Amino acid sequence: MKLLSIIPWADWLALVCFFALWTGYAWFARVWGRKKGSLIQTTNRYRGYWMTQATSRDPRMLDGVITQTLSTTPAFFSSTSILVIGGLFALLGTTDKATELMSEIPFAQTTTLIVFEFKILVMVAIFVYAFFR
């Protein structure tokens, strides 16, 4: 309950709006994907066409390179998430310097150290979720 009183109401409102928009977009994407073909469905359809044509072509080296590139794309996104998570944990170690730096920005509102750390932990949670998604 102490955390509720430490964090300003504007930050709580921003957090609630963020998660409401995130949930709303997920719902919208799911409903819209059922009505019309989603990007994944369209991509899978074109991959099926490509695989059918790849069986009739003679030099299959290019097809192997494309397949390898497509299989490494999720690994790129997960490694990027790991780098961001590592950077956020490094930022947690130097929050006092980071809050001093943020106070020098003219349009940034100064916050307490615990509020700044809470915001970083929320971002860590979001990127951990993105890594496992």
- At residue 96, the pLDDT reads 86
Residue 48 has pLDDT above 70, yes or no: yes
Q: How confident is the model at residue 131 (pLDDT cuts 50, 70, 90)?
A: confident
Average pLDDT over residues 78-98: 87
Calculate the average pLDDT of the chain.
81
Q: How confident is the model at residue 77 (pLDDT cuts 50, 70, 90)?
A: low
Give the pTM: 0.64
Average pLDDT over residues 75-93: 84
40-59 exposure pattern, b = at least 16 Cβ within 10 A, e = fewer: eeeeeeeeeeeeeeeeeeee
- At residue 75, the pLDDT reads 61
Angle, nearest 10°, between helix axes 95-103 and 113-132?
110
